[in-house]
Amino acid sequence: MSLAVTPSPRCRTSALAGAAVTLTVLVSACSGGSGSSSGTGSEQRRLVSMSEAAKGGVDLVTWNLTSGEPDTLDPPNAATYGGGQVVMNLCDTLVRYDADYNLSEGLATFERESPTKLVYRLHTAKFWDGKPVTAEDVVYSLGRAKANSVVSSFFQSVKSIRATGDKEVTVTFSEPDEKFNSEMANISGVVVEKAYAEKAGKNFGTAAGGVMCSGPFTLDQWKSGNSITMSRNDGYWDTTRIPKAKKVKFTFVTDTNALTQALDTGEIDGAYELPPNAIQALEKSKEGRLYFGPSTQGTGLNVANAGGATADPKLGAALQRAIDREAIVKAVYHGAGQPLYTGLTPRTWPSDQTALYAKAYAKFKKVRSYDIDAAKKLVKASSYRGQELVVAYQAGDPTIARMAQLIQQQAKQAGINLKLQSMGALAYQQAGYDASKRKDMDYMFGSNFNSVADPLEPALFNYLPNSPYNYTDYKDARTAELLKEAVSTFDAKKRAELVIQAQDRWESVNGTIPLVATDTVTFLNKRLAGAVTSFAYWSMPNMAFIGSAK
């Protein structure tokens, strides 16, 4: 499930899916300056998961949704950057993440009674309208997510979801499912009020129908084309997370220059996912500070269709070697990221298995690092004969446009002829889920994120038959077997070994040319503190922690 600095076809909802940066260390909980480093050369920056802690309350925080206005606030379909961010401030999930993706209880405690039975026991909580949160509401909410939503794939092994008490819900599985509980920390596990949702019908999650949740903020108003405002829920059941801000106003400024000016003058207090071309200006700002955080996000060049010239793995291998990723990180991202050599970004690796994944990653880095002579040899050994290959990207994003031009130039040096094709936002997004819209394309630029630090999330989205982002119709029985076994394996080391074996197989076809593992870039006004600055913000009520810096 995901999204990216630019709305992208491979934006998974959880994607529901973290991007990354260092190869060996996941950032531990930190305040201010602690963290790891990102980028290359002179622009190397320190990564932090949290800004300095807030010291007091504030009346209003104005925060921009850089990707624009959400298309919905219906939780299991709010898979965009903006939609998910707003929902996670309004609604509670069964379990929670902190800024470093550590899992803990949320609206409920959890107990795995057996490999195929998971029991959730609700805390005493109320929806905004004063009605209690019940097991029936949980069953209804998870049932909606399972039945027909962008996160339905996370429920594939769910056999039943039953209320086994007023405050108890039991989920049984047809086979063991290691990842299910962690996915309940994002939009998949949001609990809404059944009666309200049923009454709202098709308007639920829209500007007209709103939502009814139990989170730390209440929804005040959604003014289409303008803003979304929310107020502090002073009666919030978790007294440790009562927001410091009385009100939050989300704006929808997508123009980089306009947003940069609004942040630099204090008109807007902060924003996540700032585009690279805003970095240099805002690093000099006297009104606030930029933070660079660990993230699960990445960008790549994705084969758009099965068959054709791009089906030859040797051509893909040539393109891997023709691209100077370090130059792209410096020139395009101003150091806010790291060269990426596999579809799995390093921040997606579980912290307790980083060494295993790093060892496997090193092999791909070696055979995919920039080497124009090697690229030329691979082109000659391939079936490619110099024909034009169409690369589609979304118009209006200067970052992607510049990267596309650099890649076109680099590929040309290796003898690969790329034709760039810009597309309007709507047409580009449609191509992400409608294969008929991609029939005249060879590659698409895409961005993605993962909502959890679990490689199984992107693997299941991308590399199984009929999965939503399997553009090349990749079918490999052994890959499917390995991933199925990994999902059913609770031993972390064994699970990592299985995923790494599967990775060797799917990467061999070069269906994706990974480019950059990007940082989360956040701006925060100097009057404020307490911002989550890792990509975990997307799976947290991030506005609840922001307050006065003094």
Measuring CA to CA, which residue among 100, 329, 70 is closest to residue 223? 70
Q: CA 393, CA 521: separation in Å to the nearest integer?
A: 22
| Per-residue pLDDT at 92 exceeds 60 | yes
In single-letter form, the type of residue at position 457 comes to: E
For the chain, percent of residues with pLDDT exceeding 90: 79
- Burial-class residue 201 by CB neighbours within 10 Å (0-12, 13-18, 19+): exposed
C-alpha triplet 436, 441, 447: angle, nearest 5°: 95
- Burial pattern 154-167, b for ≥16 Cβ within 10 A else e, equals bbebbeebebeeeb
**From the CB of residue 126, how many other CB atoms can be counted at a distance below 10 Å?**
15
pLDDT of residue 39: 61
Q: What is the mean pLDDT of residues 303-331?
A: 95
Q: What is the mean pLDDT of residues 54-70?
A: 96
Strand, coil or helix: what is 467? Answer: coil
Distance of CA 260 to the CA centre of its chain: 23
Strand partners, 448: 298
pLDDT of residue 37: 61
| Per-residue pLDDT at 26 exceeds 70 | no
pLDDT of residue 41: 43
Which residue has 């307490």 as its token pair? 530
The pLDDT tens digits of the residues spanning 473-527 come to 999 999 999 999 999 999 999 999 999 999 999 999 999 999 999 999 999 999 9
Q: CA 183, CA 535: separation in Å to the nearest integer?
A: 15
Q: What is the mean pLDDT of the chain?
A: 90
Length in residues, the chain:
550
The span from the first CA to the last CA of the chain, in angstroms, equals: 38
The domains located in the chain, with CATH, are: 37-90+207-295+520-548 (3.40.190.10), 95-197 (3.90.76.10), 298-518 (3.10.105.10)
Q: What is the mean pLDDT of residues 146-169?
A: 93
| Per-residue pLDDT at 14 exceeds 50 | no
Max CA pair span of the chain: 69
Q: CA 484, CA 469: separation in Å to the nearest integer?
A: 18
**How are strands ordered across the β-sheet holding 337-339?**
337-339, 512-518, 298-303, 443-448, 389-394, 418-423
